[in-house]
Amino acid sequence: DGGITQSPKYLFRKEGQNVTLSCEQNLNHDAMYWYRQDPGQGLRLIYYSQIVNDFQKGDIAEGYSVSREKKESFPLTVTSAQKNPTAFYLCASSISRLRGTGELFFGEGSRLTVL
């Protein structure tokens, strides 16, 4: 079945450690996104990529990094510079970066807890 796979589902990290969250899609979508969700909050955009080998910062990119070497993959690294990394991270994709095709397909999320 086509979809978006995020891993791991749960992750624990010690302070000062970098951690990488995986996101893979087999929907042949051009655009991919990372959102962060805190309890009782909406989703905030971290990074997005509209095409392979290109990505842009979203609203809260500080302390995060991404790469887009393959169309199917858009990993997110939470670095030690991120001051409050404990959150639920959601990866999404959409068919095209073009206007009017705004529907995003989401993965099941990765919950990161910093100990």
Chain residues binding other proteins by CB under 8 A are 4, 6, 31, 33, 35, 40-45, 48, 50, 54, 56, 58, 90, 92, 96-100, 102-109, 111
DSSP string covering 71-114, please? Answer: TTB--EEE-TT-S---EEEEEEEES-SSTT----EE---EEEEE
Shortest approach of other proteins to residue 16 CB, angstroms? 27
Residue 56 backbone dihedrals phi, psi, to 5 degrees: -135, 155
Q: Is the Cβ of residue 43 or residue 80 nearer to other proteins in the bound state?
A: 43
Q: Is the Cβ of residue 80 or residue 88 nearer to other proteins in the bound state?
A: 88
Q: Is the Cβ of residue 82 or residue 110 nearer to other proteins in the bound state?
A: 110
Cβ atoms of 64 and 79 within 8 Å: the answer is: yes
Shortest approach of other proteins to residue 101 CB, angstroms? 8
Cβ atoms of 104 and 4 within 8 Å: the answer is: no
